[in-house]
A and B are shown apart, each in its own frame.
Chain A
Amino acid sequence: DDDYNEDEIDVSDLRERFEVQLEHGYDTFVVIDGLPKVTEDQKPKLVKFLLRKLNTVGTTREDLIYMPMGEDGKSLSFAFVEYSSAAEAAAATRQLDMVPLDKKHTLRVNKMTDIERYGREGRIDETYQPPKIDEFTQKEHLKWWLKDPSGRGRDQFVLFRGDNVGVFWNNEKDQPEGVVERPHWTETFVQWSPKGTYLTSVHAQGVQLWGGQSWSRQARFAHPYVNMVAFSPGEKYMVTWSNRPISIPDEGHPALSIDDDGKNYVIWEITTGTPLRSFANLDLAKPEEGRPPPKLQWPAFKWSADDKYVARLNPGQSISVYELPRMNLLDKTTVKIDGVVDFDWAPATVQRDGVKEYEQLICFWTPEIGSNPAKVGLMSIPSKEIVRSLNLFSVSDAKLHWQSEAAYLCVKVDRHSKSKKSQATTLEIFRVKEKGVPVEVVDTIKDTVINFAWEPRGARFAIISTTEPVGPTAVAPKTAVSFFCPEKTKGTTTGNFKHLRTLDKKNSNAIYWAPRGRFVVIATVHNQQSSDLDFFDLDFEGEKPESDKDLTANLQLMNTADHYGVTDVEWDPSGRFVATWASVWKHTMENGYHIYDFRGEALREEPVDKFKQFSWRPRPATLLTKEEQKQIRKNLREYSRTFDQEDADRGASADLAVVEARRHLLNEWYEWRENMEAELAEERER
């Protein structure tokens, strides 16, 4: 059971880039050409006339039409128009373009973003090439990389630097071994599918998946101007999203139909490459005066652990659950939950105590409405039955954190006092697999908890808290890192969660657990002053302090490293290595990556100009049965002997090769010098 945990995909950097694009905000604008030239006096008449046409496809107003005037006092025959939504603007370009205004004038309507895009770089000819239907060929083995040809069980990673994308074998201290390298492989970023089968490249025309030993294209999904991609955990489906509504040209689109016009999301089936259903963006609530606009929720469509359902939140109202692959709304109706703020699927299929039927679990929460308390609910799908709910008071915010096996759900509740002056956080832990789903309140933390992370496949967690208000400050707030673990019990049950240790006066702001638990890196990322990486072991095999004797952890700080300017941290899928990098997407200082071993010993530091992205290739669940794994553990000593011998031999032969190469270089050099000196002597004679 080696399941890749989708929660661990860090999309923060993608989100950031996407948000930058939103700021352009030209999607609601169109440019109208071909208007008659009018004087200032005639202008209002023309605008009124134009408005009638414009409002046939959407909503705009007189003051949203900007018609620039030339130096001669006459208009310039074009105008900018802002519609109330991007979908309307898209509709205008389709329906009003080439519409005659009068006998002499014909409207030309273009999206502002298109003019930006095509006008600027002469990219007009960059049209979509329809895919050739390949004849059936024997498919490549897509899992070939699981068998490291060197027999050393190495992992792969992808590097994106400058315009180059390359995949490499991790060679620890040594130069990584190149597997494939292609310039301009992607336009914006790369992304592995959750089991590592595909490498995703993202282009203006859509998304492509690559894999197999030849790194050939496995699939393409023509979603124009796609911004984001999310896979289902089983790699059966994916959702693509573009900030721009899809616009189907008159001559049609190779993959999408007119039904997809104006939509932003497309759900695809990966093996067939077909779109299953598309959706438009939800209207985001208008931000309050002076407030930043609401952030886009990503992923907006969330998958159940078994790829059977996908669901989307309609904030404040309901959750829409769709059944795959038909993409029909479950029971033809949304799940109405008044006030619902957030929801999340259990990341694993849980066998609840005493429950025999198939089910997937959804957790959600609603805030206080009037005199009704805030609520956290656990719902069983497909029955939509609430299996557990919890009432909470004085709630200012809540965050839902599933443990990777869905054994526990922690709801981090930010509470305010009656006066709303002071803040505190409580952690409400649902023991999902225990009878009746008991809820344990772990602790009341006086400070604001800014980060929470479960140990994958474990029952321990770490939090980061701060006494200082969270907000954009020049100096990062002082933080404290706390570890919690269950008490020891006699039986197989998990004991009560207890505070293990707090380390204060830190700047840490991020928690990275090893994918199989036990080890954790507490880091300070995106920080000008500090860039510490603290490597902890929670099952240190050494003396245990007397005070912790009843706790299921033995905490040991293994090492502290410093990677100046670090922006991202990622464990390899085996939990043996940690990569840290400073991406040019975030800042331009000392870009490049480092590789550490699990205990924080630096193995490799590689500064790379214009370094963008590092990503370990995920691995699917192991093919080994529990029994086989047990057998291997039992015989580990024998394996160890072979590995030790192999490593020693390889070290020796590598050294030998290096020495041989140097000897060659030395001889070559001195030969050249002797030649040169002889020639020089000869010429001096003359």
Chain B
Amino acid sequence: MVAMPSEPCQELTQSPRYNLDGDIIFSVAKDQHICAWYSHNGERLGTYHGHVGAIWTVDVDPTTTMIASGSADNTIRLWDVKSAKNLKTWEFPTAVKRVEFSEDGTKLLGVTEKRMGYLSNIVVFDINPDPAAEQTDERALTIVCDESKATVAGFSYLNRYIIAGHEDGSVSQYDAKTGELIDNIPIHELNQPIVDLQWNADRTYFITACKDKSAKLVAARDLTVLKTYPADTPLNSATITPKKDFVILGGGQAAMDVTRTSARQGKFEARFYHKIFEDEIGRVRGHFGPLNTVAADPTGKSYASGGEDGYVRVHHFDKGYFDFLYEVERERINRMS
């Protein structure tokens, strides 16, 4: 296990993100720069300076050429991964809480905060994959979320839909070309915000994490809830592991919300559930504060968790993890081979 302390202050919420090859982790915190790390040993590769406010979100394109970030300084910035050059800055009237590239890296989406009379927007830009090229100022699309604030959003398979999670516990499906709202379904408890939304590899389904203490696996095509994972603490993040049919949930109550400050009470553990059977199969300790983000390595070798304690922890899976199978799973594998 590799722990990467942020510096210099530990009172930082960490949000790690893997690149597609799983060898680099980008992390952001409230300290205004982005860090890149080697996932296998925690060695720092570089930092990206330019934001002048807390950074809430980062995403990397499929070729690890560019990263995008969203910040409390009301900007989305695009960066060249190698040179750390700030390629483009888009400005908004409010903070940007979420950015995400489409599957093919040709589109970038951002979710802006609702504040000071501004509604929360989902904005889309077309991205030129050449880092040397000029990027457009024009938004390809703007979706205004007037019913309930969008907290998280992303592109589905084949850039067909934009899926958003809302503050009221519902998810929306928009036409990614026109921005038209196709469907909105309340899948979580009313007015319990959805705080994370992560995709499976082909982006046909996704997992939501909600403050209502549950995570749900949802089909992108029709927003059917496929699975539900109940937890005993409000959740901040959920991720789907490739290679194994697991999901990982992270959360915990912040010290200020609990009557007694203790790791025991806070439940600061990453929880593993079986994706298909919905059983909880294990927990991993390590953080001293709530888990803000859990991210699965796209190659399936590890996972990273970012905590409010200011650490990003990378856990490399051992043999036991890969060997773990339910009897019926083993039976199925034997039948297939």
Whether the complex brings A and B within 8 Å at their CB atoms is answered yes
Seen from chain A, the residues whose Cβ lies within 8 Å of a Cβ on chain B are 564, 587-590, 607, 659, 662-663, 665-666, 669-670, 672, 676-677, 679-680, 683-684
User: Which residues of A lie under 8 Å from residue B327 when comparing CB positions?
Assistant: 659, 662
Give bound CA distance, A663 to B259, whole Å. Answer: 43
Partner of B260, one of A589, A662, A663, A677: A589
Q: A589-B259, A672-B226, A676-B204 are in contact. Are A666 and B328 (CB under 8 A)?
A: yes
Residues of chain B in range 103-156 having any CB-CB distance to chain A below 8 Å: none
B326, CB-defined interface residue at 8 Å: yes
Partner of B259, one of A588, A669, A677: A588
- Other A-B pairs beyond A666-B329, A669-B245, 14, CB < 8 Å: A587-B259, A588-B259, A589-B265, A607-B232, A662-B326, A665-B276, A666-B277, A676-B202, A676-B221, A677-B204, A680-B157, A680-B158, A680-B204, A683-B158
Closest CB in chain A relative to B63 CB, distance in Å: 19
Give bound CA distance, A242 to B204, whole Å. Answer: 61
B264, CB-defined interface residue at 8 Å: yes
Whether B265 pairs with A669 at a CB distance below 8 angstroms is no
B332, CB-defined interface residue at 8 Å: yes
5 smallest A-B Cβ distances: which pairs? Answer: A662-B328, A669-B276, A663-B328, A676-B204, A607-B232
User: Which residues of B lie under 8 Å from residue A665 when comparing CB positions?
Assistant: 276-277
Cross-chain pair count, CB within 8 angstroms: 44
Whether B264 pairs with A564 at a CB distance below 8 angstroms is yes
Give bound CA distance, A147 to B221, whole Å. Answer: 51
Give bound CA distance, A680 to B260, whole Å. Answer: 50
Give bound CA distance, A683 to B328, whole Å. Answer: 32
Q: Which residue of A lies closest to B278 (CB)?
A: A665
* 7 intermolecular pairs with C-beta atoms under 8 Å apart: A587-B259, A589-B265, A659-B327, A666-B332, A672-B226, A679-B221, A680-B157
Q: Mark B69-94, 1 if CB is under 8 A from A, else 0.
A: 00000000000000000000000000
User: Which residues of A lie under 8 Å from residue B329 when comparing CB positions?
Assistant: 666
Seen from chain B, the residues whose Cβ lies within 8 Å of a Cβ on chain A are 157-158, 160, 202, 204-205, 219, 221, 226, 232, 245, 259-260, 264-265, 276-277, 326-329, 331-332
Give bound CA distance, A666 to B331, whole Å. Answer: 11
User: Which residues of B lie under 8 Å from residue A677 when comparing CB positions?
Assistant: 202, 204
User: Which residues of A lie under 8 Å from residue B160 when comparing CB positions?
Assistant: 683
Give bound CA distance, A679 to B205, whole Å. Answer: 13
Give bound CA distance, A351 to B307, whole Å. Answer: 70
Closest CB in chain A relative to B81 CB, distance in Å: 28
Q: Which residue of A lies closest to B265 (CB)?
A: A589
User: Which residues of A lie under 8 Å from residue B276 when comparing CB positions?
Assistant: 665-666, 669
Q: Which residue of A lies closest to B276 (CB)?
A: A669
Whether B264 pairs with A662 at a CB distance below 8 angstroms is no
User: Which residues of A lie under 8 Å from residue B259 when comparing CB positions?
Assistant: 587-589
Q: Which residue of A lies closest to B232 (CB)?
A: A607
User: Which residues of A lie under 8 Å from residue B331 when comparing CB positions?
Assistant: 663
User: Which residues of B lie under 8 Å from residue A684 when comparing CB positions?
Assistant: 158
Closest CB in chain B relative to A608 CB, distance in Å: 9
Give bound CA distance, A590 to B331, whole Å. Answer: 39
Partner of B328, one of A590, A659, A679: A659
Give bound CA distance, A589 to B265, whole Å. Answer: 7
Q: Which residue of B lies closest to A608 (CB)?
A: B232
Give bound CA distance, A669 to B219, whole Å. Answer: 12
Whether B232 pairs with A662 at a CB distance below 8 angstroms is no
Give bound CA distance, A684 to B157, whole Å. Answer: 10
Give bound CA distance, A590 to B221, whole Å. Answer: 39
Give bound CA distance, A670 to B245, whole Å. Answer: 11
Give bound CA distance, A683 to B331, whole Å. Answer: 32
Closest CB in chain B relative to A531 CB, distance in Å: 12
Give bound CA distance, A607 to B264, whole Å. Answer: 13
Give bound CA distance, A189 to B125, whole Å. Answer: 58
Give bound CA distance, A662 to B204, whole Å. Answer: 23
Closest CB in chain A relative to B337 CB, distance in Å: 15
Give bound CA distance, A587 to B329, whole Å. Answer: 43
Give bound CA distance, A669 to B245, whole Å. Answer: 11
User: Which residues of A lie under 8 Å from residue B260 when comparing CB positions?
Assistant: 589
Closest CB in chain B relative to A286 CB, distance in Å: 37
Give bound CA distance, A587 to B202, whole Å. Answer: 47
Q: Which residue of B lies closest to A686 (CB)?
A: B158
Q: Which residue of B lies closest to A590 (CB)?
A: B265
Give bound CA distance, A662 to B276, whole Å. Answer: 9
